[in-house]
Structure 1
Amino acid sequence: MKIKRFISGIREYHILLFFSLMCSFSYAQEKTIQVVDEESKKGISDVYFQYDKTSGFTNESGEFNLEYLEGVTLFLSHIQYGKIPVSTESIVEAFRSGILSIREASNFLMPVTLVQVQHGTGDKSKLDISVQNKLAHDAGNLLEEVPGISSIRKSGAYGFDPVLRGFKYDQLNLVLDGVQTASAACPNRMDPAASQIPINMISQAEVLKGPHGLRFGNAFGGTINFKSSAPDFKQKPTPLGRLGTSYESNGKIYRTEGVAGVAGKKIDFRLFGSYSSGEDYTDGDGVQIAANFNRLNYGGKLAFKLSETQDLGVFVSNNIAKDVDFPALPMDLREDNTWLFNASHSARFYGSSLTSWNTSLYGTMVNHLMDNFDKVIVPRTVDAETDAETTNYGGRSEMRFDFENSHLFGGVDYRFESAKGYRTRNMLMGPMAGKVFTDNVWQDAEVNRAGLFGEWHISQPGFQFVVSGRVDMNSSSAKNPDPRFTAIYDDLEATQLHPSVSVGGTRLFNPKFSLGLWVAMATRSPGITERYINQFPVGLDPYEMLGNPELDPEVNNQLDLVFKYQTPAAGVTVNLFTSVLRNYISSEIRDDLSPALPTSPGVRQFVNIKDATMAGFEMSWTQKMGTFLSHDASLVYTYGKNKLEDEPLPEIPPLEFRYRLMGSFLNDKLQPEIMWRSVQKQDRIASSYGETKTPGFNVVDAKISCLFNKSITATGGVQNLFDEAYYEHLARSVRGAETRPIYSPGRSFYVTLTFSFL
């Protein structure tokens, strides 16, 4: 027995020794490992790795070769993911599976929503945009897919101006690639910054809620950062292409877009273009709504790989809108021509705390022409047109430092903004018939903004802290003031220095549940419109608005509390927020001032409201129901109050609920979807601001997508399935003999087809 046990023990020993040697031998061999994003599972190129004396970069698929060394730590570094030490246990698992997953470091667990427009890396709360929305001609309309974002509508089809949690206009920081912005040349904001974004070259829209993300500019109510597609260098020259087209029945809306280019080892060059047009549509009551528009966008993006550690990029885009109907405004858009230029340089460093240095320079020019020539006006007393232009230019330089348990962003930015333009009035009737008047709308106003910013992310077991801050110097002036304006104000110049700071953190109680608390104080100097608009009707009612260069900066003291529960099958997120607002910018009627036009009811002057509040919540729930079905729901609400006048703040969207049921069949090749949107009535209105109550409504949409293969996708569906007659609370009213809000389209069928070889 003892001999047998002894022999058996020897046999077991040799078996264990044999497997140990085999394992050691397998690890000792060089193996290909792919570095992938933890959420998207896509390979990450240009990840720098250092393993003992071996170093290099992952290829375009995120792959690199490695030979196992006992007890040696692998270090990874990437501009988007930071510095990541990989333990021996993780290396052994990577050798077994061939996969090494890493998580993006920036904005970890902050109050942020990432909107996936086209293929790219996602993170945190992610909302996938449907195929037909990749053809969208207006980014403001696309952003309405995000719960908590509405838009001010002055047209049925174009120029949607985003509103996030009741914050709007200059209270939101809307940028392209973290730096570039455009200013509306139209005093009525027919051409808001969102309308100038080239959607078909955007990979992701990052929505930072509240004044917590201060890296990309002065974020008072939130930041919306549109990220353009990153270069995709290939080992051998590879042609790239995508073509998409769609048609909507109600309004005869036709859209098409395309991308063509080539990617090689050192260069990625892409040309892009899109064209959209539409006609009048009918609402749920069968009433025709003026909604003609034409939009053309084209441009190119060129990226050079100067070395393994340096890239250079150039981006050019031209957006042209023509003959767009704006039934809620006294004029229509005749032509809007916008050029966007951007040049960027990025450098990566290894072996030191400094890991990256990114610098961008940009310029934006907007030329805008609008007139009332096509308006049906009885009697027609005046022909009017406004020719205006804005110019923006500036830059941003940011460094990133990575330490053992934290990383730090620091940098400077600069933004110049100018606006000039005139309204010409040709009098047709009465004692003034034949006379021509010229009104100085913008007074050649200028604003210079220079900022210094920093953001520090600190990671501890179970905790994530973020401290963000910036200091801005803001100076403004009017180079060509109007005599009427100088008769009211003595000093038209202003210089303001204001700080902003945000502190927050997230406690990870377990892999499923986290709790975050974010506190911020942000200040914002008034914009050009608020300072220098010269008696032009740009508000909710037809009163002429008068700028005020003596305005004080707005102050937002905000708190966000974020609960999150996440499992592989379900997730719940609750975001509660409250804002105490000081010097909130609104307007009041000046009975002592006469309007420039005799048809105007009077003049409103921009003023500060000393005390106001906003509060609300955003709730979302997602769940997988078995293998083929999933659904999600969201509920959002914002409450605003002017405490000085004891009335609600104006233009606050009502309570809104959304529910979506999705299916995935035939190995994800067939994807049906149905969406229900329920909006409650809004009876909390600012009567002194010209607001009226709006009724609630329910809208159901349905669609089905067919993925024939990895390159061809077709989608068909119906919007407003039950032909509901409704209008949004933020939709302006049609001007004319009958005042009626701009109703949304009635039932509309659509079809989309895309071919992608990117």
Structure 2
Amino acid sequence: MKNSIVSVLFIFITSMIYAQKIEIKGLVLDKQTMQPVEEATVQVKGTNIYASTDNEGKFSIETTEDKTLIISHISYQKKEVLASNAAKILLDEKKVSLDEIIIASNPLDDISHSIVVMDDAKKGSQPRNAAELFNDISGFSVQKRSATASEPSFRAFKYEEMNIKYDGGTKIVHACPNRMDPITAHVIPEEVSKIEVVKGPFTVRFGQNFGAIVNMVTRTPTPDDYGFHGSLQNGFETNGSNFIARGELLYAKEKYDVTLNAEHRKFGDYTDGNGIETPAAFTTNSYSVKMGYNPKSNQRFQLDWRQKFGKDIKHAGLPMDSPKDNSNSLGFDYKIQQVSDFIKSISVKSYVSAVDHLMTNEERPSFMKMDAQTTVTSQTYGGKLEFGLTPTKKMMLFTGVDADIINRDGERTRIIKLRPDGTPFPEYSRPVFIDKVWQDATSSDYGIFVEGTYKLSNQLALASGLRTDFVSASIKDPAEDTTIMGGMVVPGFESLYGPGFDAVSETT
């Protein structure tokens, strides 16, 4: 009995001694150059205890040897080590990232009110389009107009009040006036590896919108992906006889990588809980090619091309359907990091995208009375040049210029088949009306911005920004007065705004 008591006391006293806080000293070095890493943040995991490395990479922090330390730096990958193994810590330099807008590892990089949302359950749920990835995300709702025409809104912000991009820069703007072809209809959902959200006007680096900024990030290869990889996926749903097939091929090496994605989606009308069949059919075929080249460890070039072909799309919320909804986009990116002690990074982004959308009433009962077709197109192009500067070790400064130019055009043709009394018009004398939808409209936004973050402590940073935008809009094909059946005149652009307004060249 005495031996047992002595053993218990010995274990208890040993545990108390082991749990006592001691001063942990360590050294943080660059794994490649073995040079000291200055201003790295060292945190005791799960606590508010922090320390920073000095100009020799040294630090000291008070904790117990069984605790975990988290080491982070603006230029290196985050690392976790046991305090007992902290004598020498080697950090790997961050891989150049072209696609992301948020890096939440350092107070100087983090954007206020920003989150990263994505999970494996959503990626494997056979979504109809990328908008369904936003389901159940706090603050978001999805506005659904048809099986393919769904787009997210955040709190009270929607449409152009939000700034939705993919891979940090590329935009695809809808051509349809009823927004039956939003950006989320043109991205392969399974390609999206995560969704970044800035919840309001807390940064000026990504456009002049005051609503949420949403960035859908597609996957970029990492060193773990080196070699040749491939995957095939397919799925089937009985309600609607929905079928999805997708394939991916990836070849990656240290200097370059190539990723190919292709998908086929064929969905039918579904039956709701009351046994009512709802129009929801569509067919899409999409593919994308992403090529990257890394001439050095701190540089990356990237080219991204994608195309989507949509057909036989039924819209339950409109009296027309879409026999065609095609799009394509091309993006080019370049980034270099650690140019000098003062210049942290230089990044260049450019893109061009186009949408070709057709709506008709051929499959609707109204086609017996009138043949209506609306052909619309949109072209969007733009880019961004940004410099990341470090005037001091506690300050990060971003400055640059960006541009987004949008052009849209289209017309609606209506051929009247029946008179008001129900008798048919002879085919050769059917009235034909042509309405100008976008009037060849162009809007341009050129912006200049500067945004700085000053690190007050390991937990607190002060951020401020200034942005100026030069916005213009014009139309090149203004609508004239139109006379419809019954002799009623619908005023055109000149009648609405007066003869003194130069509708062709005037810019507002």
TM range (shorter): 0.7 to 0.9
1:115 counterpart residue number: 117
| Aligned residue identity for 2:57 | T
Structure 1 residue 152 and structure 2 residue 148: aligned?
no
Conserved? CA contact 1:34–1:100, under 8 Å: no
Give the CA deviation at 1:342.
0.4
| Aligned residue identity for 2:117 | V
Conserved? CA contact 1:205–1:225, under 8 Å: yes
Unmatched runs of 5 consecutive residues or more in structure 2: 1-24, 38-53, 60-71, 95-103, 481-491
CA distance in 2, matches of 1:232, 1:495: 47
SS in 2 for 1:320: strand
Give the CA deviation at 1:407.
1.1
CA distance in 2, matches of 1:311, 1:245: 33
Q: Which moved more, 1:314-323 or 1:428-437?
A: 428-437
2:329 counterpart residue number: 340
1:376-422 Cα distance to aligned partner (Å, 9 max, x none): 33x83211111111000111111111331121211110111000111
CA distance in 1, matches of 2:380, 2:32: 36
Give the CA deviation at 1:71.
8.6
SS in 1 for 2:184: helix
Structure 1 residue 404 and structure 2 residue 393: aligned?
yes
CA distance in 1, matches of 2:327, 2:449: 29
Conserved? CA contact 1:368–1:389, under 8 Å: yes
2:443 counterpart residue number: 447
Unmatched runs of 5 consecutive residues or more in structure 1: 1-23, 36-46, 54-69, 117-126, 497-758
CA distance in 2, matches of 1:438, 1:85: 59
Give the CA deviation at 1:104.
2.2
Relative to structure 1, is the Cα distance of residues 275 and 416 closer, same or farther in structure 2, using a 3 angstrom cutoff?
A: same
SS in 1 for 2:131: helix
1:382 counterpart residue number: 370
CA distance in 2, matches of 1:85, 1:263: 20
Conserved? CA contact 2:235–2:244, under 8 Å: yes
Give the CA deviation at 1:50.
5.8
SS in 2 for 1:480: coil
Relative to structure 1, is the Cα distance of residues 170 and 71 closer, same or farther in structure 2, using a 3 angstrom cutoff?
A: closer
For 1:212-611, what aligned pairs fall within 5 Å after superposition? 212-233=202-223, 238-377=227-366, 380-402=368-390, 403-430=392-419, 433=425, 434-461=430-457, 462-483=459-480, 484-490=492-498, 491=501, 492=503
1:271-305 Cα distance to aligned partner (Å, 9 max, x none): 11112111111222221111101111102000011
CA distance in 2, matches of 1:74, 1:129: 42
Conserved? CA contact 2:325–2:357, under 8 Å: yes
1:661-683 Cα distance to aligned partner (Å, 9 max, x none): xxxxxxxxxxxxxxxxxxxxxxx
Structure 1 residue 104 and structure 2 residue 105: aligned?
yes
CA distance in 1, matches of 2:34, 2:464: 30
Conserved? CA contact 1:281–1:289, under 8 Å: yes
1:336-360 Cα distance to aligned partner (Å, 9 max, x none): 1101100111112254121111101
Provide the alpha-carbon RMSD of the alignment.
Answer: 3.5
SS in 2 for 1:326: coil
Conserved? CA contact 2:236–2:243, under 8 Å: yes
Give the CA deviation at 1:453.
1.6
For 1:569-718, what aligned pairs fall within 5 Å after superposition? none
Structure 1 residue 179 and structure 2 residue 169: aligned?
yes
| Aligned residue identity for 1:463 | L
SS in 1 for 2:365: coil
Relative to structure 1, is the Cα distance of residues 448 and 50 closer, same or farther in structure 2, using a 3 angstrom cutoff?
A: farther
Conserved? CA contact 1:364–1:392, under 8 Å: yes
CA distance in 2, matches of 1:485, 1:48: 65
> TM-score, normalised on structure 2?
0.75
Give the CA deviation at 1:95.
4.9
CA distance in 1, matches of 2:194, 2:92: 24
Give the CA deviation at 1:73.
1.2
Relative to structure 1, is the Cα distance of residues 317 and 100 closer, same or farther in structure 2, using a 3 angstrom cutoff?
A: closer
CA distance in 2, matches of 1:48, 1:224: 35
| Aligned residue identity for 2:160 | D
SS in 1 for 2:133: helix
Q: Which moved more, 1:390-399 or 1:197-206?
A: 197-206
Relative to structure 1, is the Cα distance of residues 421 and 83 closer, same or farther in structure 2, using a 3 angstrom cutoff?
A: same
| Aligned residue identity for 1:132 | G
Conserved? CA contact 2:347–2:387, under 8 Å: yes
**Between Structure 1 and Structure 2, which shows a larger proportion of strand residues?**
1
SS in 1 for 2:132: helix
Give the CA deviation at 1:91.
9.7
Conserved? CA contact 1:398–1:412, under 8 Å: yes
Q: 1:51 aligns with which of 28, 35, 45?
A: 35
1:42 counterpart residue number: none
Give the CA deviation at 1:90.
9.6
Conserved? CA contact 1:73–1:85, under 8 Å: no
CA distance in 1, matches of 2:145, 2:468: 35
2:74 counterpart residue number: 82
1:477-515 Cα distance to aligned partner (Å, 9 max, x none): 00111111221014457757xxxxxxxxxxxxxxxxxxx
1:73-119 Cα distance to aligned partner (Å, 9 max, x none): 179xxxx9624799xx9998445787889962366362223123xxx
Structure 1 residue 188 and structure 2 residue 178: aligned?
yes
CA distance in 2, matches of 1:92, 1:407: 33
> TM-score, normalised on structure 1?
0.51
Relative to structure 1, is the Cα distance of residues 332 and 229 closer, same or farther in structure 2, using a 3 angstrom cutoff?
A: same
1:703 counterpart residue number: none
Relative to structure 1, is the Cα distance of residues 85 and 326 closer, same or farther in structure 2, using a 3 angstrom cutoff?
A: closer
CA distance in 2, matches of 1:363, 1:91: 50
CA distance in 2, matches of 1:90, 1:359: 39
| Aligned residue identity for 2:464 | V
| Aligned residue identity for 2:347 | N
Q: Which moved more, 1:311-320 or 1:301-310?
A: 301-310
| Aligned residue identity for 2:461 | Q
Relative to structure 1, is the Cα distance of residues 85 and 424 closer, same or farther in structure 2, using a 3 angstrom cutoff?
A: closer
CA distance in 2, matches of 1:353, 1:438: 59
CA distance in 1, matches of 2:363, 2:123: 35
Conserved? CA contact 2:77–2:93, under 8 Å: no
Relative to structure 1, is the Cα distance of residues 346 and 81 closer, same or farther in structure 2, using a 3 angstrom cutoff?
A: farther
CA distance in 1, matches of 2:434, 2:298: 55
Give the CA deviation at 1:197.
2.0
Relative to structure 1, is the Cα distance of residues 49 and 185 closer, same or farther in structure 2, using a 3 angstrom cutoff?
A: farther
2:21 counterpart residue number: none
Give the CA deviation at 1:457.
1.8
Tell me the number of residue pairs that the alignment of Structure 1 and Structure 2 aligns.
424
Give the CA deviation at 1:451.
0.5
1:13-45 Cα distance to aligned partner (Å, 9 max, x none): xxxxxxxxxxx9xx99xxxx999xxxxxxxxxx
Relative to structure 1, is the Cα distance of residues 97 and 83 closer, same or farther in structure 2, using a 3 angstrom cutoff?
A: closer
Conserved? CA contact 1:143–1:162, under 8 Å: yes
| Aligned residue identity for 1:477 | S
CA distance in 2, matches of 1:154, 1:196: 16
Relative to structure 1, is the Cα distance of residues 114 and 234 closer, same or farther in structure 2, using a 3 angstrom cutoff?
A: closer
Give the CA deviation at 1:128.
5.5
Conserved? CA contact 1:475–1:494, under 8 Å: no
SS in 1 for 2:468: strand
| Aligned residue identity for 1:170 | E
| Aligned residue identity for 1:480 | D
